[in-house]
Amino acid sequence: MSTGPRKGAFGNAVALSCRECGHRTDLGPFYACPDCFGPLEVAYDFPAISREEIEAGPANIWRYKALLPVPDDIEQSPNTEPGFTRLIEAKNLGAELGIAKLWVKDDSTNPTNSFKDRVVACALSAAVELGSKVFACPSTGNLANAVAAAGARAGIPTAVFIPSNLEKPKQVNSAIFTDRLVAVEGNYDDVNKLAQEIAAEEEGWAFVNVNVRPFYAEGSKTLGYEIAEQLGWRLPDQVVIPVASGSQLTKVHKSFQELIKLGLVEAKDYKIFGAQATGCNPVATAFKAGVDAIRPVKPDTIAKSLAIGNPADGIYVLDIARQTAGAVEEVTDEEIRAGIILLARTEGVFTETAGGTTVAVTRKLVETGQLDPTLETVIINTGHGLKTLDAVADQVGPAATIAPNYDAFEAANII
């Protein structure tokens, strides 16, 4: 007897389709086209969906369940219920950067403090429906945190693989949820290669960003849906998004296109910008050189969550940046640190190095005339600064250390 996924396991999703040649494959733990090895993505047959139906849903990503590859009863499956994070009107940061209308989509407040909880919730649903035995990932840190937490809550064994030089807080934030945190002596690209080998050898392992990557990637669409809904069901003019594998950026674009097609927002032109660190800039380099091929790099940057030297979706990021008249820009580690501190001091939001990259790139895009400061702009803060404390620990600290009496306070002259 066949024990395939139950009926409706993937909601309105109907197939996996190849991004390169359009070949369609059944929904399942597949990620490469059998014809051309191109990446597969989820294709849907959407029914009519109204704003009111979405607004009546829960205050998490499942309000968009009709637009995701998840079953209609997804709310019954334990997961971390991420999403519907704040969209902050960032007047102070806007004034500092010279941008008239600026918002920060603050995904640092997700259950494990990064946007990865969104993608993991969708991957977990697929893993459950496919009957997977182990929930796993190669990770630059945040993904491992999200996988370990979601697996714990769902009662599924997890195994998460990270580069051994990862920030300590990110290691602890995984190990607190799982006994199987594996530190690999190598960079992320080495860890990723190992994960592909394990996925091919071990039966029933769902590697969220490898063999269930098409389902995983769809979770990032919810960032775009939320931005549109929180702006009052309309699209912004410009969005700035950090780029590691590039998946998130491509899915925010996909989400905007779907909202237009479904008539949930008015069609309009918008620009999508990608943000990278100079110490890991393969997509920014290709963008500036005007070439289509991405040459892998060996990462060396404090933005470890963005340190993917051979980004799987890099070529699609290039396409989208060019098609929408956006750009992919890069900043140095010094600028990243300054970006973290600037966001904290202007908006009271403590971001990690990825967010510092996004803020600093936004500044550079304005200064170089690539981003129009008169247009409505949203930047995405993808993670929390408490996970990358070391990045700024030398730059901020006590203004003075004083004896516990008023004279000492006065003498310190801190006002």
114 touches ligand PLP by CB under 6 A = yes
Is residue 36 a contact residue for Zn ion (CB under 5 A)? yes
- The site partner of 21 among ligand PLP, Zn ion, none (C-beta below 5 to 8 Å per kind) is Zn ion
What does the per-residue mask of binding to ligand PLP show for 136-155, with x meaning CB under 6 A?
Answer: ------x-------------
Look up residue 6 and give its DSSP letter: P
Report the first-to-last Cα separation within the chain, whole angstroms. 76
317 vs 217: CA distance, rounded Å: 14
Does position 24 interact with Zn ion (CB under 5 A)? The reply is no
Cα–Cα distance between 10 and 68 in angstroms, integer?
Answer: 8
Q: Nearest to ligand PLP by Cβ — which residue?
A: 383
Give whichever of 215 and 373 is closer to ligand PLP, judged by the CB atom.
Answer: 215
Question: From the list Zn ion, ligand PLP, none, which binds 245 (C-beta under 5 to 8 Å, kind-based)?
Answer: ligand PLP
Q: Which helix (H) or strand (E) holds 205?
A: strand 205-207
Q: Confirm or reject binding of residue 305 to ligand PLP (CB under 6 A).
A: yes
Work out how close the CB of 389 gets to ligand PLP at its nearest, in angstroms, rounded to a whole number.
Answer: 15
The site partner of 246 among Zn ion, ligand PLP, none (C-beta below 5 to 8 Å per kind) is ligand PLP
> At its nearest, how many Å lie between ligand PLP and the CB of residue 360?
14
Query: Which tokens is 149 given?
Result: 């937490």
Which residues, at least 6 apart from 197, have a Cβ–Cβ distance to it below 8 Å?
none
Return the one option of Zn ion, ligand PLP, none that residue 299 interacts with (CB less than 5 to 8 A, by type).
none
Within 10 A of 59 (CB to CB), how many other CB atoms are there? 10
Measured from the CB of residue 11, what is the shortest distance to ligand PLP in angstroms? 22
- Interface with ligand PLP, residue 382, by CB under 6 A: yes
Which parts of 243-305 are beta strand (E)?
Answer: 271-277
- By the 8 A CB rule, do 234 and 265 touch? yes
Pick one of Zn ion, ligand PLP, none as the site partner of residue 328 (Cβ within 5 to 8 A by kind): none
Binding mask 328-367 for ligand PLP (x = CB under 6 A): ------------------------x-x-------------
**110 is an interface residue for ligand PLP by CB under 6 A:** no
Interior CA angle at 91 toward 87 and 92, to 5°?
Answer: 120
DSSP 76-129: GS-S-------EEE-HHHHHHHT-SSEEEEEGGGSTTSBTHHHHHHHHHHHHHH
C-alpha angle 301-324-384 in degrees, rounded to nearest 5: 35
- Total residues at interface with Zn ion (CB under 5 A): 8
Q: Kindly write out the interface string for residues 37-66 of this chain, putting x where it contacts Zn ion by CB under 5 A and - elsewhere.
A: -x----------------------------
User: DSSP assignment, residue 14?
Assistant: E
- Would you count residue 214 as binding ligand PLP (CB under 6 A)? no
Tell me: does residue 23 bind Zn ion (CB under 5 A).
yes
Nearest approach in angstroms of CB 116 to Zn ion is: 27
Binding mask 247-286 for ligand PLP (x = CB under 6 A): xx--------------------------------------
Q: Which does 23 bind (CB under 5 to 8 A by kind): Zn ion, ligand PLP, none?
A: Zn ion
CB under 5 to 8 A by kind: which of ligand PLP, Zn ion, none does 114 bind? ligand PLP
Contacts of 261 (CB under 8 A, 6+ apart): 46
Does 301 interact with ligand PLP (rule: CB under 6 A)? no
**How many Å apart are CA 214 and CA 16, to the nearest integer?**
8
Measured from the CB atom, is 313 or 373 closer to ligand PLP?
A: 313
Measure Cα distances from 221 to 160, 215, 228, 358, 361 in Å: 24, 11, 11, 19, 22
Q: Under 8 Å CB-to-CB from 44, ≥6 apart: which residues?
A: 12, 13, 14, 67, 69
Which among 111, 104, 110 is positioned nearest to 343, based on CA atoms? 104
Residue 352: contacted member of Zn ion, ligand PLP, none (CB under 5 to 8 Å, by partner type): ligand PLP
What phi-psi label fits residue 264: left (phi over 0), alpha (psi between -120 and 50 degrees) or beta?
Answer: alpha
List the one residue out of 212, 219, 206, 205 whose CA is nearest residue 116. Answer: 219
Q: How far is the CB of 372 from ligand PLP (least distance, A)?
A: 24
Contact residues for ligand PLP (CB under 6 A)? 114, 116, 142, 242-248, 305-306, 352, 354, 382-383
Contact residues for Zn ion (CB under 5 A)? 18, 20-21, 23, 33, 35-36, 38
